[in-house]
Amino acid sequence: MELTRLLKENCIVVGLRPGGKREIVEELIDVLVAAGRVADKEALLDATMEREAKGSTGLERGVAVPHCKTDAVRELTCSMGISREGLDFAAADGRPSHVFFFLAAPNGMTGPHVKALAAIARLSRSDDFLRRLRFAPAPADALRVITEEETRAD
């Protein structure tokens, strides 16, 4: 699965506001609400925080992938946020997270959700990709970095 099929420019935040996990997730959800992709914002936020309570989705190398399954969305949806300075998301390596991919899928949707997570993991193996993404000056630039990396991976 190509991430660019899910992620659109209007769902990318460059310069996430400082805050805790809940505030970061809420900002990532807000762009999805503005894009008309969320049926119930509070249910989506609650489902994401419930998932996060089971174990942090802050991975290594500055990447976090908060995600959940809930009927607060009608289809698999994705947003992304970037923090150049880094934010504490209880990452596995104890370091700040800079790139946040948010995924939400309806209950019962497993295959596409797992494929999207795998696509994020595959892209995130490249230090160069993560550096270019971290320093993308605008959402269009971040999307271009992802498109270039997906094209190179094919």
- Give the pLDDT confidence of 57-99 residue by residue, as tens digits: 999 999 999 999 999 999 999 999 999 999 999 999 999 999 9
CB crowding 13-31: b at 16 or more within 10 Å, else e = bbebeeeebeebbbbbbeb
Entry pTM: 0.96
CATH no. for 3-153: 3.40.930.10
What's the confidence (pLDDT) of residue 75? 94
Give the pLDDT confidence of 18-63 residue by residue, as tens digits. Answer: 999 999 999 999 999 999 999 999 999 999 999 999 999 999 999 9
| pLDDT-derived band at 153, boundaries 50, 70, 90 | low
Q: Which residues pair with 97 in a beta bridge?
A: 87
CA angle 30/33/37 to nearest 5° reads: 135
Q: Which residues pair with 67 in a beta bridge?
A: 103
Indicate the burial class of 82 (C-beta count within 10 angstroms; 0-12, 13-18, 19 or more): buried
- Residues carrying an active site annotation: 67
C-alpha 107/C-alpha 137 separation (Å) is 35
What's the confidence (pLDDT) of residue 154? 60
What does residue 85 show for φ and ψ, rounded to 5 degrees?
A: -75, -25
